[in-house]
Chains A and B, each alone.
Chain A
Amino acid sequence: MKALKLNRMVLLLVSIGVYSLPFVIKNPYYLNVLNIVALNALVVTGLTLLIGYTGQISLGHGAFYAMGAYISGLMAIHLGWSPWLTTLVAMVITAVVATLLGIPTLRLKGHYLVMATLGFNLIVFILLVQLDNITGGPSGLPGIPPYTLTKTVLATDLQCYWLIWSVTLAGLFLSINLIHSRIGRALMAIRESEVAANCLGIETWKYKTKIFVLSAVMASLAGSLYAHYMTFISPKTFDIFYSIEVVAMVIIGGMGSLWGALLGAAFLTPLPHLLHFFDEYKDIIYGAIFMGVLIYSPDGLVGELTRLYRKRRLESKLQEMEK
């Protein structure tokens, strides 16, 4: 119970920080980067539940991100429905697809989910490119209507900042609740020893499927937010490299913690932008930073921060004892 309260306190502090940032940062380019950070953080939060807490790996969340973006975008364009409604419809469709993908693969022992999701991502990407009379093909889908609130159109980066970050923080809030509950314990038990979890009465395949579907739905929601925020989408955003990038964010942030999701997204999303003046060397440097974090801090950024905090506390205690 103490851990739940502590995490909620941290979330409150983070929220205060998030909501006061736009009063300091006015530049729309920076706001755009921050919005993408939030969208990635939402995807990575779901993935942290799946990978970090349940121990199941997906390399296809780019496809669920794409489903959210394209289903919601296309329905809003062609049917003229409200983007809020199409976002919900996309989440439902994604949930159904993820269930159909998860049930057969998660019943099996071993890492079949990795292969299934990888294959699914490749199929979705090919469909986005090839079905150009529907999706607009490689040149993308323009003219997606933005969200409207009462009569205000949420068109600027700042307006979307409030919306996107609120959704991401809500996602974190729900995930924190889940982790500190009987279900969260069941998920961790599955990660630690699936056979022991099963023998304690935990229907492991059911929980694995549920958390996989939840993470897919969170990616779908992020995709819809992306589509109606950017108003233009193209397949390149949703390729297999996106799926790898979000998994990298889970690992770099620190797998065992939801705060790792936020840190991983906040660290890796702007990195290519920061490195752009290295031109053609930027991928090498990106890779080197990645490897550096993994070698020197295998528990990720959260692990490193916890260690620093413990060390500081120990030092101050030692100083007190000397006095």
Chain B
Amino acid sequence: MAILEVKGLVKNYNGVRALKGISFDLEEGEILGVIGPNGAGKTTLVNLISGIDKPTSGEIFFRGERVTGTPPYRMAQKGVARTFQHIQIFPEMTVLENVKAGLHTKGRSGFLACLLHLPGVTKEEDRTTHRALEVMELVGIRDKREWPAAALPYGDRKKVVIARALVSQPQVLMLDEPAGGLNEQETEEMGELIQKLKEMGITIMLIEHDMDLIMGICHRILVLHHGERIALGPPHRIQEDPQVVQAYLGEGF
């Protein structure tokens, strides 16, 4: 069953057509890879689904409900999480605080309760810390809990933002180049982590340039080129698609 349906999505930026009518379904439980050369519209697509940008036309449905143009915080509350290509870590907060911030929607304590620090606040805070540490264990950053995020090596920062997006148990997780800037071993670890997330029941949309990673773990791959969908299918079919080979992999192939 499709958890997310995208229908004829168009986005114009000052007359430049970044997306020219993209349609696809995200099936529940799958890892969908999204590839395409730079400027193909991959990040634009994620921005439209997460609500950061509004589409010029087209519709988005989440579990059958129309969510086109819904603001990002509402999408997050519904269970659609994302990470950013440029990480967007909270640099001056500790690793633990970063991950705990991801649990915002799970908290109930209001402004007044927090000002007065009512007894319920302490309990909720303990639960939040406990849950954050669980996820930090999973991604392998638990031992760095008190580090300021800015002091972390690049690979660890990527793990922090994934933990931050993951901690609220989203239904859909959109990862924007999680392996970008990572070395071979780190990329492999990232692939293992993404597969673990899939096994936890999270549907994943993975934007990535690393072909080994994409081909290795994705069930299906969506190929974008100049804002258009040129192919959608399982990895072996994408590799043989003449249009993809020409447009994406370049003339050398």
Give the interface of A toward B (CB within 8 A): 1, 4, 174, 177-178, 180-186, 188-189, 192-193, 195-204, 210, 256
Contacts and interface: CB of A to CB of B under 8 A. Distances in A.
Most chain A beta-carbon contacts within 10 A, residue among B89, B92, B102, B116: B102
B68 interface: no
A196 B84 contact: yes
A182 B52 contact: no
A183 B111 contact: yes
Most chain B beta-carbon contacts within 10 A, residue among A180, A182, A184, A192: A182
A179 to B, nearest CB: 9
Contacts of B92: 188, 192, 256
Interface string B199-238: 0000000000000000000000000000000000000000
A182 B93 contact: no
10 contacts: A177-B115, A177-B116, A181-B117, A182-B103, A185-B104, A196-B88, A199-B52, A199-B73, A201-B168, A210-B111
B151 to A, nearest CB: 14
Contacts of A193: 88-90
B81 A199 contact: yes
B113 to A, nearest CB: 8
Contacts of B115: 174, 177-178
Interface stretch (B20-28, B124-132, B188-196, B244-252): B124-132
A180 B116 CA distance: 11
Interface in B30-69: 50, 52
A183 B88 contact: no
Nearest to B90: A192
A76 B168 CA distance: 51
A185 to B, nearest CB: 5
A183 to B, nearest CB: 4
B128 A200 contact: no
A189 B88 contact: no
Interface string B67-88: 0000111011100011010001
Nearest to B81: A199
Nearest to A179: B114
A189 B90 contact: yes
Kindly list the 4 A-B residue pairs having the minimum CB-CB distance in the complex, ordered from nearest.
A201-B76, A201-B105, A181-B114, A192-B90
Contacts of B114: 177-178, 181-184
B107 interface: yes
Contacts of A204: 73
Contacts of B177: none
Contacts of A256: 92
B182 interface: no
B121 interface: yes
A97 to B, nearest CB: 19
B132 to A, nearest CB: 11
A28 B129 CA distance: 49
B125 A181 contact: yes
B91 interface: yes
B73 A201 contact: yes
Interface string B115-158: 11100011011101100000000000000000000000000000
A196 B88 CA distance: 6
Given A189-B90, A193-B90, A1 B125 contact: yes
B161 to A, nearest CB: 8
A195 B129 contact: no
B11 interface: no
Nearest to B174: A199
A185 B101 contact: yes
Contact of B109 (A1, A183, A203, A210): A183
Contacts of B111: 178, 183, 210
Contacts of A199: 50, 52, 72-73, 75-76, 81-82, 84, 165
Contacts of B161: 196
A185 B149 CA distance: 14
A186 B101 contact: yes
Nearest to B161: A196
B101 A189 contact: yes
A200 B102 contact: yes
